[in-house]
Amino acid sequence: MTGHGAKFGRKMETAIAALLARPSIEDAARVARVGEKTLRRWPRDPEFKAKYLRARREGVHQAVGRMQQATGPAGNVILKLMADPSVPPAVRLRAAENVFAHAIKGIELEDIEARLAELERSGDESKPGWRK
């Protein structure tokens, strides 16, 4: 998007922030102070689209990080529900199923990591000039 100078770049950044924060394009356009038609057109521009997708990915990355930070307390809740005899049996069963599912998934991931490391090592060994 050339020919519009820095002001246009700031408008794009403001529009991206509004698109991420507001529930509709109409509301985002109002907050960003750009026309709704403009805001519907900008995502077709490769530069805008790339910046918008990067901002969305960053938002998801941050949210996933927050969820990962909460896994310790979440695990404690599951274990407490599973062990508390005053909790309804259906809830205790679901908690126990969660413990098993996550334990199994952890083992599967460890197995995949080990297999991937072995494949990478084998690939390195097949390269010319490889030495241990």
| Residue 123 banded pLDDT, cuts 50, 70, 90 | confident
pLDDT of residue 132: 60
Helices (H) and strands (E) in the chain, counts: 6, 0
Same domain flag for 47 and 12 = yes
3 state DSSP class of 44: helix
Last residue of a domain, one of 50, 67, 84: 67
Examine the domain organization and report whether 80 and 98 are in the same domain: yes
- Tens of pLDDT, residues 12-59: 999 999 999 999 999 999 999 999 999 999 999 999 999 999 999 999
Residue 131 resides in a domain? no
Judgement on whether residues 60 and 93 belong to the same structural domain of the protein: no
Encoding tokens for residue 68? 């990962």
> What is the rounded CA–CA span in Å between residue 8 and residue 26?
19
Same domain, 53 and 80: no
Backbone phi, psi, residue 15, to 5°: -65, -40
Residue 4 has pLDDT above 70, yes or no: no
pTM, 2 dp: 0.59
Domain containing 17 equals 5-67
Question: Do residues 91 and 114 share a domain?
Answer: yes
The whole-chain average pLDDT of the chain stands at 90
Tens digits of residue pLDDT in 62-81 = 999 999 999 999 999 999 99
